[in-house]
């Protein structure tokens, strides 16, 4: 039997915002894939698959909401270990697309373990940090660093720099929220700038090229700078009101690459203009505010840290995707949540929302 109190305490604002964002994303994918009709291929490729993944994600969200989130403490190590094993399988049996080996194929469906490991790392980090509310000492910080570094290195080697950065900054956000000992902060402020240049030598050549193109896209307008230049043209050509649904010239005439994934927001901005992009951003802001509010209302440290992690997960992806679409940040392959096409990403997005709703539903059930 469904507990009436649990249903009453669902954060309906979050559900409403997610429904709006997902609907906007499917409509945008419909427009972004419309050109395929001219090739005699089906129109259903992207938006219909996204609907299927969205349905699966919605069911997964309901499952996540159905049990007390505190049980995840016991399961955290297992979830993390399984996600790492799946990530390791990519190196042996992964499918390569566009030169990156990121997907596992199960015969009827492909998925990205790098998306699942974000979830595993988040739950385990929240569990470990929830044991003590005091600022982290060196010993505690090293434990968290090990949890973070292992998946970050594995994902970066696929290569998938964008997902690696999301894992790194997502967990860094939780650590900052928890607090770090002042002496340790001073030491990190000295140490991090010294080791930061070493990361340059760990990047692949194409990743270095993307960073250099970010500084000067006009240096190679038909090569490494092409994506950003076309994206800026699409966003700018939308003007204030936009060109209308399925009327964007940059997307419909195929000037804009990766219009269904990394640059889906460019298609949206061109067709709905500055006003549409502003409304979309406002919906994201309401969603993020509600997630952060739920973290403040949570009755235990674990629930609060889970919500903070979900907040940083979405916040980072929104800001980085918008930054690279507008040419303000390097292109690192991070999708816009609920707007860009991506099956595993959609599934994990809904599971993340389910975690927050789970905490929201049970905020009156027990005392801290």
List, for residues 99-145, the tens digit of each pLDDT value. Answer: 678 888 877 778 889 889 999 999 999 999 998 878 888 888 888 88
Average pLDDT of the chain?
86
Confidence band for 366, pLDDT divided at 50, 70 and 90: low
Distance of CA 174 to the CA centre of its chain: 15
User: Tell me, what's the pLDDT at 44?
Assistant: 59
3-state secondary structure 114-170: HHHHHHHHHHHHHHHHCCCCCCECHHHHHHHHHHHHHHHHHHHCCCCHHHHHHHHHH
- Higher-confidence residue of 104 and 59: namely 59
pLDDT at 35 over 70: no
Alpha-carbon distance of 106 to 73, in angstroms, equals 29
User: Tell me, what's the pLDDT at 96?
Assistant: 78
Closest C-alpha to 366, from 291, 302, 279: 302
pTM check: above 0.85: yes
Strand partners, 96: 101
DSSP-derived secondary structure letter, 248:
-
């Amino acid at each position: 039997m469904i507990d009436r109190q649990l249903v009453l305490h669902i954060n309906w604002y979050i559900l409403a915002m997610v429904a709006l964002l997902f609907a906007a994303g499917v409509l945008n994918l419909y427009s972004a894939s419309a050109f395929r009709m001219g090739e005699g291929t089906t129109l259903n490729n992207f938006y219909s698959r996204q609907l299927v993944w969205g349905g699966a994600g919605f069911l997964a969200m309901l499952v996540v909401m159905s049990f007390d989130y505190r049980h995840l403490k016991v399961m955290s190590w297992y979830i993390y270990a399984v996600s790492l094993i799946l990530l390791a399988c990519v190196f042996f049996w992964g499918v390569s697309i566009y030169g990156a080996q990121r997907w596992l194929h199960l015969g009827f469906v492909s998925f990205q373990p790098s998306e699942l490991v974000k979830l595993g790392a988040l739950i385990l980090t929240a569990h470990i940090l929830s044991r003590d509310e005091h600022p982290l000492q060196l010993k505690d910080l090293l434990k968290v660093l090990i949890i973070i570094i292992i998946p970050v290195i594995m994902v970066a080697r696929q290569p998938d720099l964008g997902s690696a950065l999301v894992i790194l900054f997502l967990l860094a956000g939780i650590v900052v929220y928890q607090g770090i000992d002042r002496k340790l902060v001073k030491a990190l402020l000295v140490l991090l700038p010294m080791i930061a240049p070493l990361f340059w030598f760990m990047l692949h050549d194409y990743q270095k090229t993307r960073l250099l193109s970010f500084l000067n896209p006009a240096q190679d307008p038909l090569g490494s700078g092409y994506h950003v230049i076309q994206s800026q043209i699409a966003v700018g050509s939308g003007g204030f009101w936009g060109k209308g649904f399925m009327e964007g010239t940059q997307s419909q005439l195929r000037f804009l690459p990766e219009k269904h994934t990394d640059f889906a927001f460019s298609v949206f901005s061109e067709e709905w203009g500055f006003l549409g992009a502003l409304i979309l951003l406002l919906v994201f802001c309401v969603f993020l505010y509600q997630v952060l509010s739920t973290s403040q209302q949570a009755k235990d440290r674990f629930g609060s840290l889970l919500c903070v992690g979900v907040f940083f997960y979405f916040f980072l992806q929104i800001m980085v995707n918008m930054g690279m679409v507008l040419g303000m940040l390097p292109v690192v392959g991070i999708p816009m949540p609920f707007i860009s096409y991506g099956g595993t990403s959609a599934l994990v997005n809904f599971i993340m929302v389910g975690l927050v709703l789970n905490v929201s539903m049970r905020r009156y059930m027990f005392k801290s």
